[in-house]
Amino acid sequence: MASLVLLVISQRQHTSRTSKTNRTSRTSKTNRTSQTNKTNKTNKTSKTSKTNIMKNIIKKVESGQRLNAREGLTLLRDGDLYQLGGLADTIRRGLHPEPVVTYVVDRNINYTDICISACKFCAFYKAPEDERGSVLTFAELGKKIEETKALGGTQILLQGGLHPDKPLEFYEEMLRFIKGYNIHIHGFSPPEICHFATLSGLSVREVIVRLRQAGLDSIPGGGAEILADRVRQETAPRKCSADAWIAVMEEAHNLGMRTTATMMFGHIETLEERIEHLERVRNLQDRTKGFTAFIPWPFQPDNTVFAQLPKTTAFSYLKMLALSRIFLDNIDNIQASWVTQGPKIAQLSLFFGANDFGSTMIEENVVAAAGVSFRLSEEEIRHIVLEAGFAPRQRTMDYTLVAG
């Protein structure tokens, strides 16, 4: 009998343990299922939330409202390429209802490649001690200007390195010489003007006034790269700060001069810093209305310190171009960058927010030094624009159409 009792107890204990194990297993399985369902539900909620946020941003753009920095970042980071392209194209057509694409016939003259800035992204400059460095003579300048005018050119884009020795009077004399050819001078980017101010001991305003009196008509947006000081410190610590770049442009605008703005992206900057750049440009335009156009173009890494970085894809370029058109609601004109992207992507740009094909670039040296050498004649630009379904029109720097 004792043995039978022990057997029953043993069986009950085994049954109890088995039952407990099964219950534990079922509980564990239930918990895992619950956790999975919870995770899926969270992911679904998160996805729904993101979708709703994107829908609200798109609705805001479509209704003509201004995006804030956070919304611009969301659109750049999470927006669909074709969605951005469609929004940008709608805005472009609203600003420019006539099917016209403009371009300017000019020449980019780099008067010197000698530069103390030593920017890590530049393949063009020569250090002051480099015997290969040079400064164009006035005779060489004159020949380039004559060639430009013979091709129907209306302006000279004049930029150069930050030469350590040339006084302000040298640049004034250069301007007076060029002005003798009766041509628009679009010259000296903000870093150059800051450099002239440092060497001369004058204020930025005083330098701009003197250059203007000598013949300077407008200022190009070069040297902006990314208007975020972390990026500028890591890539070009000797170049003017983001605030100084903005200050030069503000002084020029307040003096009645028109300028352009640029952005060179696709190197070490974050998406947040790209938006910071756009916001700085937009804020200044709110105050002065002095920018005639914005030109975003991707960094070309070959032959630079950042040669290991991958090149910006056409996908990324078009997305950034479209975002620029959407975000910069107070700048009328957005330029395509055929110089870096080639003719076909530049043609596609006309459906992603660009209304201007930029310059014929009779001469271009800085991008070419990085191994990119696209070349287009005025005839080729006109053909590309016509092929896209638009009417090509030559313009001046301030977007006045040239007769003919």
Give the domain range for residue 237.
Answer: 85-394
User: pLDDT over 90 for what percent of the chain?
Assistant: 68
Bridge partners of 158, per DSSP, are 109, 187
Position 27 in a domain: no
d(CA 308, CA 171): 37
Position 20 in a domain: no
pLDDT interval class at 277 (50, 70, 90): very high
Which CATH number do you get for residue 255? 3.20.20.70
Residues 6+ apart with CB under 8 A from 266: 298, 299, 309, 311, 312, 316, 317
Helix segments in 122-215, DSSP class H: 138-150, 168-179, 190-200, 204-214
Position 223 in a domain: yes
Residue 366 has pLDDT above 80, yes or no: no
Residue 15 has pLDDT above 50, yes or no: no
Task: Dump pLDDT digits (tens) for 86-109.
Answer: 999 999 999 999 999 999 999 899
Position 206 in a domain: yes
Task: Dump pLDDT digits (tens) for 128-175.
Answer: 677 788 899 999 999 999 999 998 999 999 998 888 999 999 999 999
What pLDDT does residue 163 have? 87
Bridge partners of 258, per DSSP, are 218
What pLDDT does residue 24 have? 46
d(CA 157, CA 184): 9
What pLDDT does residue 307 have? 84
d(CA 282, CA 286): 6
Could you give the C-alpha distances from 8 to 11, 22, 102, 187, in angstroms and in order? 5, 21, 98, 102
d(CA 268, CA 42): 34
What pLDDT does residue 132 have? 84
Position 16 in a domain: no
Weakest-pLDDT range from 53-62, 199-208, 300-309: 300-309
What pLDDT does residue 78 have? 95
Could you give the C-alpha distances from 111 to 52, 264, 375, in angstroms and in order? 53, 22, 21
CA dihedral 90, 331, 82, 57 (to 10 degrees): -80
Position 25 in a domain: no
Position 370 in a domain: yes
Nearest to 221 by CA among 149, 161, 273, 294: 294
What pLDDT does residue 3 have? 41
Q: pTM for the complete prediction?
A: 0.85
Split into its structural domains, the chain has a count of 1
Weakest-pLDDT range from 122-126, 184-188, 235-239, 385-389: 122-126
**Pair of tokens at residue 58:** 């798109």
Task: Dump pLDDT digits (tens) for 213-239.
Answer: 999 999 999 999 999 999 999 988 888
**Pair of tokens at residue 350:** 């006309």
Position 38 in a domain: no
Phi, psi of 145, rounded to the nearest 5 degrees: -70, -40
Nearest to 292 by CA among 396, 399, 157: 399
Rounded average pLDDT over 23-48? 56
- Segment holding 296, helix H or strand E: strand 291-298
- 8 A C-beta contact, residue 360 and residue 104: yes
Weakest-pLDDT range from 17-26, 111-120, 138-147: 17-26
Residue 202 has pLDDT above 60, yes or no: yes
